[in-house]
Amino acid sequence: MVPSSFSSILLALSTLQGPGTRLTYRIRVIEPGVVAPRVVATGSVSGPLDSDMRLTLRTDTAEVEALFQVTPVGDTVTLAGEFFMRRRVGRSRRGLPLWEEDNYRRIVRLTWNDTTRIYPFGVGKAAPRGLWVELLLEREFSGGAGRPAESFELSDSTRDFRMEAVVRPRRARVILNLVRADTVSAPRPMDLVPEEPPRTVQLVLLGRRTTLVVSLTRPEPPLSDRDRSLALDADVVCLRVAAPPADAPQSLGTICGRLNNVARQLALPTGDTLAATFSWPGWR
């Protein structure tokens, strides 16, 4: 009986480290009040186990962007935070604001369901109003659900906070529309995989056929330290659009974006506009 219990525990643990595990970052942004601490914002980001979270906090004098990554090690987890900070340090002699930039990394080890407190502006006297972020890491079995989810609630709309799930997409659903004046073609949805060979697609608008060669690629590696440390290219895909023939296509342009259902446009030489909407693919 004992070996079977032991093996079931092992099985459960291995399941929670496997691809069917879903990771959730729950955060609460808290600032100290006169009577009691006040929750300024709450939110959660979830996704597959390799999901990262990008957090942005801005005040008048400081701006912190951080990318949090989780590495499960047995029953513990290593939380790494890549911070990029801009602080206003004064004004130049000509009255323009002076900012300093700082880039650093923090790593802590904790057990699952531990609460960590992040002081994004530091703990020194210069920290704006002693604000902190409480982060709780959770994992659960998801049965293979791989698309990220984000929810965020801001109690004080004067604050500028943002959180995003950073998940490298393996596939993307792209919906193409051709637009001319106030006429739109029928949507043409496609499931594309990055770095796959180009595909030919035909769109019909007002009886005229437009043939395009499209392919999904990853964006160019970021050049700046900030973009690299915040992995700004990780959750972005680019749609390369070209004119046929497929074996020697002539480039018409590239549309890049996150998988967030926002239509992005590209003007075509024919006078039409190609609108591409990137989203996460449906359940399989």
- The rounded Cα 30 to chain-centroid distance in angstroms is 23
Is residue 127 a contact point for another protein (CB under 8 A)?
yes
Is residue 229 a contact point for another protein (CB under 8 A)?
no
- The rounded Cα 29 to chain-centroid distance in angstroms is 19
Is residue 39 a contact point for another protein (CB under 8 A)?
no
Is residue 115 a contact point for another protein (CB under 8 A)?
yes
Is residue 231 a contact point for another protein (CB under 8 A)?
no
Q: Choose between 94 and 125: whose C-beta lies nearer to another protein.
A: 125
Which residues touch 176 (CB under 8 Å, ≥6 apart)? 187, 188, 189, 190, 201, 203, 212, 214, 274, 275, 276
Structural Rg of the chain based on CA atoms: 23
Yes or no: say if 238 and 219 are a contact pair by the CB < 8 Å rule. yes
Which residues touch 253 (CB under 8 Å, ≥6 apart)? 241, 266, 267
Is residue 32 a contact point for another protein (CB under 8 A)?
no
Q: From residue 47 to residue 86, what is the string marking binding to another protein with x (rule CB under 8 A)?
A: -----------------x-x------------x-x-x-x-
Is residue 114 a contact point for another protein (CB under 8 A)?
yes
Is residue 220 a contact point for another protein (CB under 8 A)?
no
Taken in order 36, 40, 45, 51, is the CA torsion positive or negative?
negative
Q: Choose between 98 and 263: whose C-beta lies nearer to another protein.
A: 98
Is residue 98 a contact point for another protein (CB under 8 A)?
yes
Dist CA 32 CA 123 (whole Å): 13
Is residue 209 a contact point for another protein (CB under 8 A)?
no
Is residue 104 a contact point for another protein (CB under 8 A)?
yes
Q: Choose between 118 and 214: whose C-beta lies nearer to another protein.
A: 118
Given 39, 110, 154, 201, the residue binding another protein (CB under 8 A): 110
First to last CA, the chain: 38
Dist CA 275 CA 234 (whole Å): 22
> What residues line the site for another protein (CB under 8 A)?
64, 66, 79, 81, 83, 85, 87, 89-90, 98, 100, 102, 104, 106, 108-110, 114-127
